[in-house]
Structure 1
């Protein structure tokens, strides 16, 4: 004769609250909203568009894009179809994350042409006089730019060579740097590296801002080189070319 024994285990133990069906639906809906918003943000960055530019292309308010990307709201079915049609996006990917982002591979996108000034050398040292504006064009694919700097800029870029060792190990002599032009940012970022002119000479240095004493320090990464400072009233001698985004050496 066999003897069977069993123990019943209640999932609803005293003091333990189980998720209701409504809880699970709410949780699933929230996660889906966040995921769609993340994919919209990924798409927008892939296209190199600001929230304002993205919104304009689909006839929506900029605040709507911001709320989607933050997961506070989710676009309705008709808006998802509009996004898919406008940007040639795989609607299934947009909704669920399955499949490829684009209906056609984005590698077919037209390359971004960036001017390269081989003679306008940036000094990582004592300063070099700017003697020429001759340049030629370098084409960079959106895929490569996204991989290198995490965003696609279609305007406001230039390539400049660096001479000297004052910015080593960050930038070596002979490097070619990609610069985001000042007129496209108009915002000095503390700790970033900038290309600039002082009294006609070209430099590349790291910028440190002291808002209390109203002083900007132009600093070399190489400790063997000294820094120099300028007060606010002296800054009319400085013309900022732009922020250094990345060393392109070895990319081409």
Structure 2
């Protein structure tokens, strides 16, 4: 069965790049490229997206082999630098604060027992940004992800924004769920007969979980993940 390293190597050769040339495009050493292709290590976080961009394919195809190669296109625009602010800084006209539940972690793995919610610091979002996503600040909360099952997209310690008003399942989207008393974040897929498939990005360590119709009573969809933040 082909893995990320095999697909990366094949695609590199298909577009005519050496390991050294690819390493310069991604911004890593040629040794790192060799380790990725041999399966010793895997690209994480932004490195996965940089590798996919350099190989002219999608991150999903690299990880799962489910999509064909695509031609790169511009998908970003410069939005300016950072503006420093503190907890006592006044909100701007287009800003709103979202509660950040630091002690409530959504387990990206086997899950952790649900604990008492603690309202810690708040994160700031632009009202216009939330509006474009169809998210109401009254139904939004930020929580921390725990574990490695959603790597490399969501490394341990990542923060996700959850829209608690959006509980309808769309195949392949990420959701926060309460699974038999454990808080988790997974990609969800509907199964024939009313079942559910829970998928992680790190499928090598965390294979898909199939939940039948009877077991669904132990799962409550808390909300759809509409935003996440990763420090590399």
Q: TM-score, normalised by structure 1?
A: 0.50
Alignment match, 2:142: 159
Q: Report the Cα offset of residue 137 of structure 1.
A: 4.5
More strand by share: 2
- Conserved 8 A contact 1:111-1:139: no
Q: How does 1:19-98 map to 2 (within 5 A)?
A: none
Residues 166 and 208 (structure 1), Cα distance of their counterparts in 2 relative to 1, 3 Å cut: same
1:223 aligns with 2:203: yes
CA distance in 2: counterparts of 1:180 and 1:200, whole angstroms: 20
Is the CA contact (8 Å cut-off) linking 2:167 and 2:224 kept in structure 1? no
> Which is helix-richer, 1 or 2?
1
1:178 to 143, 161, 172: 161
Is the partner of 1:242 in helix, strand or coil?
strand
Please state how far the C-alpha of 1:108 moved relative to its aligned partner. 4.1
Instruction: Tell me if 1:122 matches 2:103.
Output: no
Task: Structure 1 unaligned segments of length 5 or more: list them.
Answer: 1-106
Cα distance change, pair 113–124 in 1 and its aligned pair in 2 (3 A): same
Equivalent residue number for residue 222 of structure 2: 241
| 1:110, distance to aligned residue in structure 2 (A) | 5.4
C-alpha distance in structure 2 between counterparts of 1:129 and 1:156, whole Å: 23
CA contact (8 A) 1:219 1:228 kept: yes
TM-score, scaled to structure 2: 0.54
Residue equivalent to 1:10: none
- Paired residue secondary structure (2:103): coil
RMSD of the alignment, in Å?
Answer: 2.5
Structure 1 runs (4+) deviating above 3 angstroms are 143-147, 149-153
Cα displacement (A) at 1:154: 2.8
Match for residue 189 of structure 2?
208
- Deviations along 1:198-245, one digit per CA (max 9) or x if unpaired, are 1111111110112x3322100111121112111122211111111111
SS in 2 for 1:121: strand
Distance 2:125 2:106 in 1: 25
Cα deviation for residue 151 of structure 1 reads 5.3
Match of 2:170 in 1: 189
Deviation at 1:249, TM superposition (A): 3.3
Counterparts of 1:124 and 1:242, CA distance in 2:
15
Cα distance in 1 for partners of 2:216, 2:187 equals 16
Tell me, what secondary structure is at the counterpart of 2:220? Answer: strand
Aligned residues: 141
Say which one has the larger Rg.
1
- The answer (yes or no) to whether the contact 2:140–2:161 under 8 Å persists in 1 is yes
Go from structure 1 to structure 2 and tell me whether the alpha carbon gap of 1:203 and 1:152 turns closer, same or farther (over 3 Å shift).
closer
Give the conservation status (yes or no) of the 8 Å contact 1:191–1:208.
yes
Q: Runs of 5+ in structure 2 lacking a partner? A: 1-90
